[in-house]
Amino acid sequence: MANMFLFIARSFFKLASFSFLLLFLFSFSSFTSTEAYDPLDPNGNITIKWDIMSWTPDGYVAVVTIYNFQQYRHIQAPGWTLGWKWAKKEVIWGMMGGQTTEQGDCSKFKGNIPHCCKKDPTVVDLLPGTPYNQQIANCCKGGVLNSWVQDPSTAASSFQLSVGQAGTTNKTVRVPKNFTLKAPGPGYTCGPAKIVKPTRFVTADKRRVTQALMTWNVTCTYSQFLAQKTPSCCVSLSSFYNETIVPCPQCACGCQNTSQPGSCVDPKAPHIASVVSAGKNNLAPLVQCTSHMCPVRIHWHVKLNYKEYWRVKVTITNFNYNMNYTQWNLVAQHPNFDNLTQIFSFNYKSLTPYTGINDTGMLWGVKFYNDLLSQAGPLGNVQSELLFRKDKSTFTFEKGWAFPRRIYFNGDNCVMPPPDAYPWLPNASSHQLISTLSLLTTLVAAMAFLFGYA
């Protein structure tokens, strides 16, 4: 009998060890398959609207507008790239507000040469400063689109194209297919074009309404899995009531490749300037050598405790030598955002993806002051402080309640430290959660010990 209990005890100890190992490994796993859907912006997408404005002898003239309906995910330099595949043998005779990256083979044309003859053209935005006779409204921003919350007026981009060898009526026109959107890299998946009700336009004096001859929409959604193989940011934590500084998880965004020199930059290297300038020819992050290897780190510090308020300091540090983050933004989820009293040197807007729950806030820089997060170095950080009013029914410093539930930087979910590593109050005797499995294991071991000496 005693041998049987000893066998059961050993089995449970092995099972418990394996379970704790799985939990430990899972705590460092930042992303799951469900995070291709963004719970903090469930309706966010990029919509491409294609409006046919007039017919031509062999086709039509259309205005294509890209709307960024995402609350906090924007498109930064070098900007968007839009592609598609023609359904028939269409060509682009001319463009305004944009251009194709390649002309293609137009050798069969004599006289007027089309702007692009490729079956699968790729279009980019024109740069600021383009001559006025090549511009249309909402063009020429270098492909940069702001997020909808930060500035809706700069969250759209348009170009005009004249299409030939196409249908000249609503019944003979064929919609393009296989739309692709890069912003500037991968991450977006576009659905098929769908014909919708023609867009209506109101004149400047608001006394007349016109409409497009034909309209179709394409919806593109973002997935962080497709955008990058590894995370792009991590979170570290600290507090006034505990000397422990919880760093970003080790290898949060990858590990240092010691076998390949130059995979990261040592800030103490004697020739750091030449190393950084040599790596600026590509968009891949050139990060500072750290234990976490993330391009960006967000530090959340619980700074002060008052009678009716408490204060947090947020610092964003750029470890990427290849990127100045323009129009950056930060999204944090914490239950006390419903009582945010004051924020210093950042803009703020409450996000309520679910009605009645106000636990998510979006922060971004003040224009011309700190809306630019400079590349890694002495100026590569921005910071602010948040003042919260205490809610007596929920407020506590125990069990890591004062730290955020999740943080996004520029729309990407950041790697959080494991919950059992959070700074705890000094009077907390233990912060290890006792599970039912561990209690059962202890009980069986005790029974085995007693029966062993019976």
Q: What is the pLDDT of residues 294-324, one digit of tens each?
A: 999 999 999 999 999 999 999 999 999 989 9
Q: Which amino acid is at 316?
A: I
Q: Order of strands, edge to edge, in the sheet holding 406-409?
A: 346-351, 360-365, 329-333, 406-409, 412-413
Mean pLDDT of 330-343: 94
Question: From its phi and psi, is residue 184 left (phi > 0), alpha (psi between -120 and 50) or beta?
Answer: alpha
Alpha carbon distance 144, 110 (integer Å): 37
| Between 378 and 440, residue with greater pLDDT | 378
Longest dimension (CA), the chain: 105
Per-residue pLDDT at 276: 58
| Between 449 and 129, residue with greater pLDDT | 129
Residue 228 banded pLDDT, cuts 50, 70, 90: confident
**E-only strand ranges, 57-202:** 59-68, 81-85, 91-96, 98-100, 122-125, 156-164, 177-182, 188-190, 194-196, 200-202
**Neighbour tally for 324: CB within 10 Å:** 15
Mean pLDDT of 11-21: 41
Mean pLDDT of 149-172: 95
Asked if residue 270 has a cis previous peptide bond (ω within 30° of 0), the answer is no
Alpha carbon distance 287, 309 (integer Å): 38
> Residue 198: pLDDT above 90?
yes
Tokens of 235: 């979170």
| Between 354 and 240, residue with greater pLDDT | 240
DSSP 283: S
Alpha carbon distance 251, 296 (integer Å): 13
Alpha carbon distance 101, 113 (integer Å): 16
Mean pLDDT of 215-243: 93
pTM: 0.81
Q: What is the pLDDT of residues 107-154, one digit of tens each?
A: 999 989 999 999 999 999 999 999 999 999 999 999 999 999 999 999
